[in-house]
A and B are shown apart, each in its own frame.
Chain A
């Protein structure tokens, strides 16, 4: 049924190289973050990219969030090419793709109040008057489960879980279609993780959001991802629906990852049920 629908984001042959900038080295050895990545993200789906640290996942996230230009390949958004577009044309697109970082403490300016943080994207895109932006911020706070009384508080006065909610509220301000979560749950404890996951599921239903999760934790991802892509040394080695991946992984590396999961039998049982 979804075969004839254009994917929301389509990535073809994406690669990113970083030039070595050490002044004393001979020659220009380039570091390849990732290469030849192909990924199709359909609307309202939850896709996960899994791999160990250093596999190039964060670089990929940045390229997809339009923070970096890829060295090769193309990114398609709703059928149009967007990689390589000039800054001005990218500006309206930025409303639709948002990135949530791993560490909420550093992604929130400690000098801003919660309301200012959430309203910032509105400010940058010049939406509404300051009073209207404030109202929006309060509404968003309520939607992510934060009390509006905390609107004047600074990030340091919130707990880790609450900070991540703040970051999510901010990301939602411009009503994006795609949310990229770069290890967004990794720094949270289990209880908070559950709550945030519930929130994300809720939001996906009410706002028709698409999620791309970047994680090193296959177990975590197994709980909610519809499709999983496994990244190893900068390349995507396997990409399937989650069910299929766990049932019969095609690559030996994937098999290794699966076996590392402690409660794997329980998960497999659950999956096959």
Chain B
């Protein structure tokens, strides 16, 4: 029973977090590129309820640089943004009136709000991870299904190919392919390229696992019965065999997404991914390579630290899924 709870807990957390990232424009007080040259490396603002004179205010406020209390406002109108690139809006969850500023996670060298950049960054890094994982698993399903169902030389050939992909150090492979592609192309193209490269390299393990399930499923009596009715191969795969793989598919997704998010973050961190001012979490962390940033401005670590609960949620989900499908093995 506990793995049911673990699974639901993880799913709720993840759904919540992904929803926040999807509506980053709403939750973030500022745009990801807005600079504030007057406040480079500002430390995170603290929310107060009691002012310096000891008076209690029900409305929380922060102290902006001018040492004037700036009350927080909710559902304010701020900078324009687009939800999922389609619907325009100006309403933000919270903000402070100008000239006050609210930097809950501090700012970077250009005075850009780190919270806003983190939330918008999720749209890049998380999405990259999700899409790449979906690509890997889809490729894995196709290859695994063909390999397991038809067997013979096609199986040999595909599995040997998979061994090749598994044997190579994937990061090197990633770099190599990235190197072959042009460096300076449009942002969305870089993003797409990253997704395709990361996703296309990782098909081998899901393919092998799915092949295993397909191999055992196709021998089950009910498949034979359907064959006896004259069902085509596609029908058998679609209705009887592939549904057996749902467990593995979900588990693989839960395991691959964090790995691929990390892959995108690493690539961008090293300068090989999306470029400024796109706020991939990798770009947010790249300034830490400078010693003075590293040792003096601790809040720049936060994007990396915030990855931990996300990964925890995904791994817990994967664990719970593995437990669940182990006990339901048919």
On A, residues with C-beta under 8 Å from B are: 65-67, 90-91, 94, 98-99, 101, 103, 106-111, 120-121, 124-125, 170, 174
Contacts and interface: CB of A to CB of B under 8 A. Distances in A.
Contacts of B240: 109
Q: From B222, B231, B235, name the one whose CB has the most chain A CB atoms within 10 angstroms.
A: B222
A110 B225 CA distance: 14
Contacts of B227: 67
Given A101-B221, A106-B221, A124-B235, A94 B226 contact: no
A103 B235 CA distance: 23
Interface string B214-228: 000000111011111
Contacts of B222: 106-109
Contacts of A67: 224, 227-228
A170 B243 CA distance: 21
Interface of B: 220-222, 224-231, 235, 240, 243, 330
Contacts of A99: 225, 228
Contacts, number: 41
A170 B228 CA distance: 12
A65 B225 CA distance: 10
B228 A94 contact: yes
A124 B243 contact: no
A66 B224 CA distance: 11
A71 to B, nearest CB: 19
24 contacts: A65-B228, A66-B228, A67-B224, A67-B227, A67-B228, A90-B230, A91-B230, A94-B228, A99-B228, A101-B221, A103-B221, A106-B221, A106-B222, A107-B221, A107-B224, A108-B222, A109-B240, A120-B226, A120-B229, A121-B229, A124-B229, A125-B229, A125-B230, A174-B229
B10 to A, nearest CB: 25
A125 B227 CA distance: 12
A243 B222 CA distance: 36
A10 to B, nearest CB: 21
Q: From B220, B228, B240, B243, name the one whose CB has the most chain A CB atoms within 10 angstroms.
A: B228
Contacts of A66: 228
Contacts of B224: 67, 101, 107
A83 B242 CA distance: 31
Nearest to A101: B221
B244 to A, nearest CB: 8
A98 B243 contact: no
